[in-house]
Amino acid sequence: MSTPETSRFVRLRVELVVEVDDEGALTKGALRRIAEDTDMPADERVHAESAVTEDTAEALAYLVDPFDLVSEVPGIELAQASWSSERIDYDPDSPDWDLDEDDVEEDEEDEPDDGRAG
């Protein structure tokens, strides 16, 4: 009897809600990062500078890099990453912001038990 192979790939989902209390500092940080990127073409640089200046969510997305989150984790190599940011209305007391809503265990508990093994 053979055992099924397990995929070596793992999807890591992270959702963060941050409060921007200094838009100027955030924008300046993003503009500094753009200025330090010597490989960025001039037309792309102009677009990036405009985007981060007009929208703090864009500035944050420019500064947060998924590679930075996992680059020091031993035994892994980042295969693919995507991320985005957006302004939201946030109420930490609202049940809509339950951080555990995606837990598989809770979903399994909600399923009716009809006595069959699954």
* pLDDT tens, position by position, 23-76: 999 999 999 999 999 999 999 999 999 999 999 999 999 999 888 889 999 999
- Residues 92 and 107: their CA atoms lie apart, in Å, by 22
**In contact, 87 and 57? CB cutoff 8 Å:** yes
pLDDT at 107 over 50: no
Q: What is the mean pLDDT of residues 1-14?
A: 79
pLDDT of residue 14: 86
**According to the model, what pLDDT value does residue 118 have?**
46
**pLDDT at residue 106, as a whole number:** 47
In the chain the beta strands, taken as DSSP E runs, fall at none
Split at pLDDT 50, 70, 90, the class of 95 is confident
Contact 86, 58 (CB under 8 A): no
- Which pTM does this prediction carry? 0.68
Closest CA to 87 of 109, 53, 55, 65: 55
For residues 27 and 53, the answer to whether their CB atoms sit within 8 Å is yes
Percent of the chain with pLDDT over 70: 80
